[in-house]
Structure 1
Amino acid sequence: MDRSIKNAHFALLAVALIYGVNYIMAKEVMNGFLEPRGFILLRAIGASILFWIVHRGTAAKRIEKSDIWRFALAGLFGVALNQIMFFEGLQRTTPINASIIMTINPILVLVLSAIVLKEGLGWLKIVGIALGASGAIWLISGKGEVDLLNSDTSLGNLFVLINATSYALYLIVVKPLMKKYPPIQVIKWVFGFGLLYVLPFGAGQLYSAPWETWTVSIYAQAGFVVVFTTFFAYLLNVYALKTVSSTTVSAYIYLQPVFATSFSLMLGLDMISWREAGAAGLIFLGVYLANFYKRSVRS
């Protein structure tokens, strides 16, 4: 295997590991130290500063006025709505549930691409979508509540599903921008718009956070989310996209539940139930049928 391809896969493995750890790190910080929207604002501020610093002195293209609305939508779906729903959901649900639900993202991309981009769907993809949706609904429905919103955990699962849908929309909206402008420039402006959206919702929570109770460990975990989950994860994904396909990049999302579950179980933070295992199985099977089955048969 070519060295550049190996490096790309190592980069993607590192991203999956970072996101797997992130479920635990972020939840710990939100356990009485920083509310979700305040955390999102802190993340947006830190990442925006880092992206602007990195982008200085690099090649840039003049942004066309006709593309500004697309940057604005990408900031809404890729940073503001996406992250707010994820952190609000993670505060209410478990790291295992959140990581499992996020694996439905590729299925959502297929559905939205068919609706927005008019891409065709074969019967295997339709079956895969149905299975993945069934798994997500089973997981969200909790232990048989008639009203999903009666359970705080189920509400958290629902928020994470909205987060996955928002991120799927972001991938569709940002795709033409990635082809037209340097990736670092795109990410910089996406986070710039995202910061504007998050500011009015997170300023109060960030200002009122009990900073005096923060320990070195909490600062380190918050720093991990800002620097690694946001900044380095995006940079590593951009690096990998130069060598491998976007399909390969997206496939690594399936390692996130493995890492998140492994860390949660090792640290004694969570226990996996038969319902969670069954829902995960349906989601993985659905993703496999919708994205990879036909490809594997041809090979």
Structure 2
Amino acid sequence: MNQQLKVHLALFSVALIYAANYSIAKTVMPEFVKPFGLIVIRVVSAAIFFGFLSRFVVKEKITGRADNIRSVLCGITGIAVNQLFFFGGLNLTSPIHASLIMVITPVIVLLMSAILLRTPIRWLSSLGIFVAGAGAMLLISGSGKEAGGSSVIGDIYILLNAVSYGIYLVLVAPLMQKYKAITIVSRIFFVGAIIVIPFGYDQVLAADWQHLPAQVWLAIVFMVVAVTFLTYLFNAWALRFATPSLLGVYIYLQPVLAILIAVFLGQDVFTLEKGLYALLIFIGVFLVSRK
């Protein structure tokens, strides 16, 4: 398997996990565990796991004042702010609305790359973002006509989450060129854990852990292991070989995969119209990923 295919496989896996997370997280919060409490469980678990790997397996440290400051900023934007706004927003709005708003992330990544990294915006990338964005907007807006349970404040939280994550993708890229992925992920989760614990500590204690249904426990395990560990590892590794804009544009796949999951579970119907929208998304990803 060549390197380019591995990168695309890693990014596709991340998109698949995130697509499933929109629906799975809604089965846990707020009835069984409130959003900030769920964040504390995920982030603290990840900080312990990655911290162990970094200390006893990788044994590498971030050096230099500039890199340490950048790693702290990555922890703030990529973990703390990102997670607090995402789960806080998802708790208040619908998965359809959340998916729709997250589509703007590649645009933010491209703009921040141009500002912070002075990366030129090629016309082919611009065309790819436009085509993929059009397909995703058409796809989600078509499904969103039947979706309910959304709120303005929830949508704003998801928007802020997308901005924060887009900035993180750009900030973390230079660090991934100098250090191993575990080293960076360990640091950003440690920073994130320190920030999120005061927000969700009381919500962790308030949950009735002894009487949680089995499916809720499975959902929590999925969010800790897959959504927290695997996605950050795959993203961190892929950033060593892919541009931030390529990584961000894979978020366009999330609504497509979410539809496929819903069809598999008998919750939606796949139509030719949705297939055409999905085709636009894949064409856009291809245009952006072309050298």
Shorter-chain TM-score tier:
0.7 to 0.9
Change (3 A) 1:104 1:271: farther
The amino acid that maps onto 1:113 is S
Match of 1:222 among 220, 234, 251: 220
Change (3 A) 1:206 1:270: farther
Partner residue, 2:43: 44
Change (3 A) 1:247 1:128: closer
Distance 1:130 1:250 in 2: 14
Structure 2: which 5+ residue stretches go unaligned?
none
Query: Could you give the per-residue CA deviations for residues 250-290 of structure 1, whole angstroms, max 9, x where no partner exists?
Result: 44322211122333455466899xxxx8xxx6xx77x94xx
Partner residue, 1:204: 202
Partner residue, 1:237: 235
In the alignment, is residue 98 of structure 1 matched against residue 98 of structure 2? yes
Query: Could you give the per-residue CA deviations for residues 121-145 of structure 1, whole angstroms, max 9, x where no partner exists?
Result: 5678778889969x69x97xx99xx
Change (3 A) 1:90 1:267: farther
Shift of 1:119: 4.2
Partner residue, 1:148: none
The amino acid that maps onto 1:211 is W
Tell me the secondary structure at the aligned position of residue 57 of structure 1.
helix
Query: Could you give the per-residue CA deviations for residues 183-203 of structure 1, whole angstroms, max 9, x where no partner exists?
Result: 110010000000011011111
Change (3 A) 1:123 1:241: closer
* Native 8 Å contact 1:95 1:264 kept in 2: no
Using the size of structure 1 for normalisation, the TM-score is 0.77
Alignment length (residue pairs)? 279
Moved more, 172-181 or 262-271: 262-271
Q: CA RMSD in A?
A: 3.7
Tell me the secondary structure at the aligned position of residue 32 of structure 1.
coil
* Native 8 Å contact 1:96 1:270 kept in 2: no
Identity %: 38
Partner residue, 1:147: none
Distance 1:153 1:263 in 2: 24
Structure 1: which 5+ residue stretches go unaligned?
144-150
The amino acid that maps onto 2:66 is S
Distance 1:294 1:186 in 2: 26
* Native 8 Å contact 1:30 1:91 kept in 2: yes
* Native 8 Å contact 2:99 2:254 kept in 1: yes
Partner residue, 2:109: 109
Distance 2:105 2:193 in 1: 23
Using the size of structure 2 for normalisation, the TM-score is 0.79
Shift of 1:92: 1.6
Change (3 A) 1:39 1:234: same
The amino acid that maps onto 2:223 is V
Mapping for residues 1-299 of structure 1, pairs under 5 Å = 2-55=1-54, 56-121=56-121, 152-241=150-239, 247-264=245-262, 266-267=264-265, 288=284, 293=287
* Native 8 Å contact 1:33 1:213 kept in 2: no
Distance 1:164 1:194 in 2: 17
The amino acid that maps onto 1:228 is A
